[in-house]
């Protein structure tokens, strides 16, 4: 893998590798991914969205129950996304 | 269902109902749940954790790939959880 970049393709590749290997280094990459995504002002519900899309690309026959459950999770993250935007505004004010 | 309360049993029940019905009112309950969980200082990665536990209780034979994928998602949310704690501290300072 080349230099680490923030994009959904990269998330899918990291996720795929973690599912196949369950190695700690992939989990470390997940952590790095989220730090980078925060630097890019990506909100938590966008991460959930990228996760859902990645999972659907990896498993086109994802069981309907799993698909529904992820929609539900996405909905719970929307309020957190709004709080996260407010946090960014507060942090900018603090300079 | 009685008065709305914040706890993981309630999350599981709401999730179960949404998976069965996919109705808008369950999604609305998801939104209410997250607002309440924010009032209770629950961080986003704790929501992911509650989601994982609920899904495992509803589907004890959850495919290994799905289980692994959720661990990966949990890891990406840890940085957001730290930011969320910082946000709460900032907001308290602002009074």
Which two three-digit tokens encode residue B25? 């009112």
Q: Which of A83, A26, A39, A40 is nearest to B75 (CA)?
A: A26
Q: Hey, which of A5-19, A21-35, A51-65, A74-88 has the most confident mean pLDDT? A: A51-65
Mean pLDDT of A4-11: 78
Count of Cβ atoms closer than 10 Å to residue B72 Cβ: 24
Chain B: give the shortest CA distance to residue A89, in Å: 10
Answer yes or no: do A55 and B69 touch at CB < 8 A: yes
Q: Which residues of B touch A (CB under 8 A)?
A: 14-15, 18-19, 22, 26-27, 30-31, 33-35, 37-38, 44, 47-48, 51, 55, 58-59, 63, 65-66, 68-69, 71-73, 75-80, 83-84, 86-87, 90-91, 94
Residue B2's pLDDT is 42
Chain A: give the shortest CA distance to residue B49, in Å: 11
Q: What ipTM does this complex have? A: 0.89
Residue B5's pLDDT is 55
Chain A: give the shortest CA distance to residue B76, in Å: 5
Residue A6's pLDDT is 64
pTM of the model: 0.89
């Amino acid at each position: 893998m080349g230099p680490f970049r923030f994009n959904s393709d990269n998330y899918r590749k990291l996720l795929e590798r973690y599912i196949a290997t369950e190695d700690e280094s992939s989990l470390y990459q997940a952590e790095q991914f989220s730090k980078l995504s925060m630097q890019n002002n990506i909100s938590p519900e966008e991460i959930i969205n990228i996760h859902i899309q990645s999972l659907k690309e990896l498993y086109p026959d994802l069981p309907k129950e799993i698909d529904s459950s992820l929609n539900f999770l996405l909905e719970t993250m929307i309020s957190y996304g709004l709080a996260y935007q407010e946090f960014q505004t507060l942090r900018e004010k603090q300079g």
